[in-house]
């Protein structure tokens, strides 16, 4: 329990995942389309990884970064969706404190890694378009591997203090979370102590990761746009074509993330359905849409997928 008979503070041993507030009766059926989207996300991203791995001509920085993005999308959705399905289908609402902490750490650190990979992809497009002659020497395969490792180190190190900041908090009000999984913003609001340290830490992480990355991505595309405007019409179309997929991936990831952060920080109602829907969107929509966007907009991947389904592609092959 969260409160002892004398009303004094106690440490949390477990939390209750409420699922979808106000839709408890409908969430059993809502779980079916959510589960379908999860399976689509896993299969779609696995398909992208397998295609890039088996096609030697796709062993280039852009596609290797895409594999990293697909792998992270699978991990992010898997860190939350199976547990969410247990809540919706089997009413398994109890989650132990340490399991909640682990899920929270996984979701936030993987999100930080994905932001870093999106920044790396923007840098790849910048070098390829603005300095094409240097692309092969700047983004070598060993360097791309090091960037991937740096993304992992950055994501985990930024979130390393998270378990410490949560474990130091006493919980005496309630142990009912407003989401279907554990988020830092959600858990810290249940504490009956000063949470300013947690709030400041959260702001530092958002500014140093999401804020900095989105700023650098915007800068890279301003430089790309400046270069592209000086090219011929045909070269402009080709350059924009290589960037559209990444721009879509950036918006798909950052818009729900920033929206969710704003709702948690400035929203009035803690039990509102809006942040819950946004939280589910933030973890499920990017993994579903990214392979679709890259499958449609990237010629090499699209042709390989069509060949998998035995569709004639002779007329469109180079």
Q: State the Cα–Cα distance between residues 102 and 262, nearest whole angstrom.
A: 24
pLDDT digits (tens, 9 = 90+) for 236-277: 888 888 888 889 899 989 888 877 777 766 665 555 677 777
What integer pLDDT is reported at residue 292 of this predicted model?
87
Q: State the Cα–Cα distance between residues 203 and 222, nearest whole angstrom.
A: 26
Higher pLDDT, residue 137 or 295 = 137
What integer pLDDT is reported at residue 146 of this predicted model?
96
Q: Record the pTM.
A: 0.88
- CB neighbour class for 200 (10 Å; exposed up to 12, middle 13-18, buried from 19): exposed
- What is the chain's length? 318
Q: State the Cα–Cα distance between residues 303 and 42, nearest whole angstrom.
A: 20
Q: Are 214 and 254 in contact (CB under 8 A)?
A: yes
Local structure of residue 177 (DSSP, 8 states): E
Q: Are 300 and 54 in contact (CB under 8 A)?
A: no
Strand partners, 95: 15
Residue 120 has pLDDT above 80, yes or no: yes
Q: What percent of the chain has pLDDT over 90?
A: 38
Distance in Å from the first CA to the final CA of the chain: 66
Q: Is 78 left (phi over 0), alpha (psi -120 to 50) or beta?
A: alpha
DSSP H helices, 23-161, are 27-54, 61-78, 81-90, 97-130, 135-138, 141-159
pLDDT averaged over every residue in the chain: 84
User: Which span out of 15-24, 110-119, 180-189, 241-250 was modeled with the highest average pLDDT?
Assistant: 110-119
Mean pLDDT (whole number) for 120-142: 92
């Amino acid at each position: 329990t969260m409160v002892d008979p004398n009303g004094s503070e106690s440490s949390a041993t477990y939390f209750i995942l409420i699922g979808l507030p106000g839709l408890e009766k409908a969430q059993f059926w809502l779980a079916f389309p959510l589960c379908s989207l999860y399976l689509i996300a896993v299969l779609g991203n696995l398909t992208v990884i397998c295609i890039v791995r088996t096609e030697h001509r796709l062993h280039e920085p852009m596609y290797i970064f895409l594999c990293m993005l697909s792998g992270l999308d699978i991990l992010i959705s898997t860190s939350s969706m199976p547990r969410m399905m247990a809540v919706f289908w089997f009413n398994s609402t109890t989650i132990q404190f340490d399991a909640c902490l682990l899920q929270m750490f996984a979701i936030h650190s993987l999100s930080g890694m994905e932001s870093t990979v999106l920044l790396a992809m923007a840098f790849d497009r910048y070098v390829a378009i603005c300095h094409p002659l240097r692309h092969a020497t700047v983004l070598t395969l060993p360097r791309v591997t090091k960037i991937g490792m740096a993304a992992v180190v950055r994501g985990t190190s930024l979130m390393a203090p998270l378990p410490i900041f949560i474990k130091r908090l006493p919980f005496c009000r309630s142990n009912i979370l407003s989401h279907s999984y554990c988020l830092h913003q959600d858990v810290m609001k249940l504490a009956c102590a000063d949470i300013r340290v947690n709030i400041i830490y959260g702001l530092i992480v958002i500014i140093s990761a999401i804020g900095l990355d989105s700023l650098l991505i915007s800068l890279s595309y301003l430089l790309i746009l400046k270069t592209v405007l000086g090219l011929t019409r045909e070269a402009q179309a080709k350059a924009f074509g290589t960037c559209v997929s990444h721009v879509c991936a950036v918006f798909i990831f950052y818009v729900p993330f920033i929206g969710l952060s704003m709702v948690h920080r400035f929203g009035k109602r803690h039990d509102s359905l809006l942040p819950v829907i946004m939280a589910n969107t933030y973890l499920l929509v990017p993994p579903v849409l990214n392979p679709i966007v890259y499958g449609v907009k990237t010629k090499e991947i699209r042709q390989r997928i069509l060949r998998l389904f035995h569709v004639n592609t002779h007329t469109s092959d180079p």
